[in-house]
Structure 1
Amino acid sequence: MKDFNDYVNAYKKQLQIGDIQEAYAGLVKYVTKLGTTLSKNLSKSYSFGSLFQGYMDYTYFYYSNKFLKDRKLKMGLVLNHPKMQFEVWLLGQTIPIQERYWEYFKNTKWNKNRTTKPQYSILETILIENPDFSDLDRLTKQIENHLIQVTSEIIEDIKRSKLK
């Protein structure tokens, strides 16, 4: 079994290569620009929050609208680093709100094959499974289109739930 020093040495080797720093900085820069673009393009539908870089696990920002805020809910656009995919998460402001909405959403298509509530959210769904970072403009458009569609579907499900 490795000890902490072994991990630090492996980390140091990877840092000396330099690829991780370049990739991470590029990903954070892209998600920052993505948030700015979505904020500009979708400002009539949603308000967008600041970027959270995470710890090489998730880079994300929140977005919401009046309907979601009235229910103490918000959405997150998440770059899941270990899986290298973009996801949309539905989040509640407090644990009781998360639990109440989890009870409804655990039996919907959004949590299919899931037996326990996600650690940080009510639901997590894949937006772009294998993003192609070679054409960032095209990727941004894909994310925007999928985000609009998925968020609308989730909001419709919230409306059907009649939860407040």
Structure 2
Amino acid sequence: MSGKNLNARIAAYKEAFASGEIQKTYQNLVGIVQNLRTDFSKTYLDEYSVANVLHGYIDFTYFYLQNDYLKKHKLKLAIVLNHRQAHFELWLLGQTKDVQIGYWEKLKGTKWVNKNTMPEWSIFEIVMLAKPDFDDPEKLSESIHGSFRVLSKDIFDTLLAYE
């Protein structure tokens, strides 16, 4: 973050919001994630509980998925729209910071885990869809679902192997 004080940054902040494009684009993106969440709750009704969309911060919009295995191990999966990168990620999270640290330590040998630095909010973050076509919601949803099926199976296989 810039070394300037808050008052010095307000002019740029106001300018960024002046046209209304940021607000409109943000709302459109949140809507896409909400539709994905609805799709996931229907598609995986028998496999996962799917939490509501969270978008309290401007940098990430996401929803959690949890099944019996994840719940038992105090873990969650999250489908995340990273606004800064404008792409989708799949995160593995612990219910507490201690759980996250424990799994980060345990999974350091896996391909997703940066063994030098733990992410701030998760155990690991995988890019699911690097260049989403936001203008084709159906194709976007199919791509996210396909990626989720492959990655979640791989994640569960890995978690089981490290138990």
Fold shared by both chains (TM-score > 0.5):
yes
Aligned to 1:42: 44
The correspondence of residues 77-92 of structure 1 with structure 2, limited to 5 A, is 77-92=79-94
* AA of the residue aligned to 1:73: L
* AA of the residue aligned to 1:148: R
Contact 1:86 1:126 in 2 (8 A): yes
Residue of structure 2 aligned with 1:103, choices 96, 102, 105: 105
Deviation at 1:152, TM superposition (A): 1.1
Deviation at 1:39, TM superposition (A): 0.7
Contact 1:57 1:81 in 2 (8 A): yes
In 2, Cα distance between equivalents of 1:151 and 1:6: 45
Q: What number of residue pairs does the alignment pair up?
A: 161
In 1, Cα distance between equivalents of 2:112 and 2:161: 14
In 2, Cα distance between equivalents of 1:54 and 1:142: 25
Residue of structure 1 aligned with 2:64, choices 52, 62, 65: 62
* AA of the residue aligned to 2:42: K
Aligned to 1:51: 53
Deviation at 1:7, TM superposition (A): 1.9
Residue of structure 1 aligned with 2:6, choices 4, 16, 31: 4
In 1, Cα distance between equivalents of 2:30 and 2:8: 27
TM-score between the two structures when normalised by the length of structure 2: 0.93
Gaps of 5+ in 1: none
TM-score between the two structures when normalised by the length of structure 1: 0.93
Aligned to 1:12, the other structure's residue is in SS state: helix
Identity %: 39
2:148 aligned with 1:147: yes
In 2, Cα distance between equivalents of 1:55 and 1:96: 23
In 2, Cα distance between equivalents of 1:54 and 1:80: 13
Cα displacement string for residues 21-42 of structure 1 (whole angstroms, at most 9, x for unaligned residues):
1100101111111100111011
In 1, Cα distance between equivalents of 2:133 and 2:5: 36
Contact 1:106 1:117 in 2 (8 A): no
Gaps of 5+ in 2: none
* AA of the residue aligned to 1:29: G
Cα displacement string for residues 70-99 of structure 1 (whole angstroms, at most 9, x for unaligned residues):
111111111111111100111111222212
Contact 1:58 1:78 in 2 (8 A): yes
* AA of the residue aligned to 2:41: S
